Amino acid sequence: MAAARVPLWAICVLRVALATVYFQEEFLDGERWRNRWVPSTNDSQFGHFRLSSGNFYGHKEKDKGLQTTQNSRFYAISARFKPFSNKGKTLIVQYTVKHEQKMDCGGGYIKLFPADVDQKNLNGKSQYYIMFGPDICGFDIKTVHVILHFKNQYHANKKSIRCKVDSFTHLYTLVLRPDLTYEVKIDGQSIESGSIEYDWQLTSLKKMEKASAEAEGWDQAAKDKSQDWEKHFLDASASKPSDWNSELDGDWQAAMLQKPPYQDGLKPEGIDKDVWLHQKMKNNYLTGYDLSEFENIGAIGLELWQVRSGTIFDNFLITDDEDYAENFGKATWGETKGPEKEMDAIQAKEEVKKAQEEDEDDMFMGRFTGRENSFRAFHRKNEL
């Protein structure tokens, strides 16, 4: 009897059900967002956020997000969620950002923080796990940052990833996989991918573990073989003194007739890996934890500087399922991107029409003023 085929819709539902959503924010409940997002009070000069869909949008309510409101300011705000570890799991960080003001210099990136971050004192020195998103300043800096925290240092992807520079809303997605691969997407399209190990120029956990195990084996083998080697240089005629106390003095060993040559840098026969090689290798290999694994992720935030304000951040998502992230992007940004551009085009046409009408009015007023001046000059001439 043939096995029954599982409908495609059932597979999709199951896939969504298996996805873990750590954080999701669409700002669909009006001003209640203030109960979830905490502005930093570290500096009284920090800029303020408001909920806005901007001057043009695809949907007035769905496109509302956190908008910067003051020029030449630092901004710092964050939201907490239940702490989690992405060890052995895929980590997807996704959000939309719209530089409606046509950014000239400022950040559009987000940060993931440890659960113990002090939200009220959030600032540029607050430790973060991941910094991801666009940064624009002048003609030179138009990049997507992907910075990861590793061994108390911040490490940036060595590849240059160009960001979008127009005034429309764009979807940014970062995928970190447990097989130590990564992917950066803009508007659902992959623009950069590769190996976390090589594109950050750091050694992976797998190699560290292997190296550590090999190093321990080499160290023990070198120790055992060096002890055998040293026996060839001991005074065989020597005997243990009668007053030797093993408990107080330790194991007795005969004196050496001469110094083993390998201690001067020469390698004795029979020792494949000497202690100096092991020590050198141990110093060169990184130890600890993997570059893409974070044990206590617990907050997401915006900590950035902007010269001209107006940027809108929306549709935040942190999950472990790539399909869920893709579908979420289609259901949010994917539904409003087209209408947003249509509204912008209509406004542009209206602005052109208004400018033309103003030019025509100016020309008419110019001709009318010219005729009036001529009329006055004619009468003044007759009066004379």
pLDDT at 283: 42
Cα separation, 375 vs 123, whole angstroms: 69
Q: Are 277 and 262 in contact (CB under 8 A)?
A: no
pLDDT at 337: 96
pLDDT at 308: 96
Q: Would you say residue 78 has pLDDT above 80? A: yes
pLDDT at 241: 74
Name the nearest CA neighbour of 321 among 82, 108, 12.
Answer: 12
Q: Are 185 and 197 in contact (CB under 8 A)?
A: no
Q: What's the mean per-residue pLDDT of the chain? A: 81
Cα separation, 353 vs 179, whole angstroms: 56
Q: pLDDT band at 219, cuts 50/70/90?
A: low
- DSSP letters of 27-57? --SGGGGGGTEEE--S-TTPPPEEEE--SS-
Radius of gyration of the chain (CA): 34
Cα separation, 304 vs 77, whole angstroms: 10
Mean pLDDT for 280-302 is: 69
Mean pLDDT for 205-234 is: 55
Three-class SS state of 370: helix
Q: Would you say residue 7 has pLDDT above 90? A: no
The pLDDT tens digits for 250-289 are 676 766 555 554 444 444 444 444 443 444 444 444 434 4
Cα separation, 170 vs 136, whole angstroms: 14
Q: pLDDT band at 139, cuts 50/70/90?
A: confident
pLDDT at 204: 44
Beta strands 130-137 and 141-150: pairing type? antiparallel
Q: Would you say residue 5 has pLDDT above 90? A: no
Q: Which residue has the higher pLDDT, 373 or 131?
A: 131
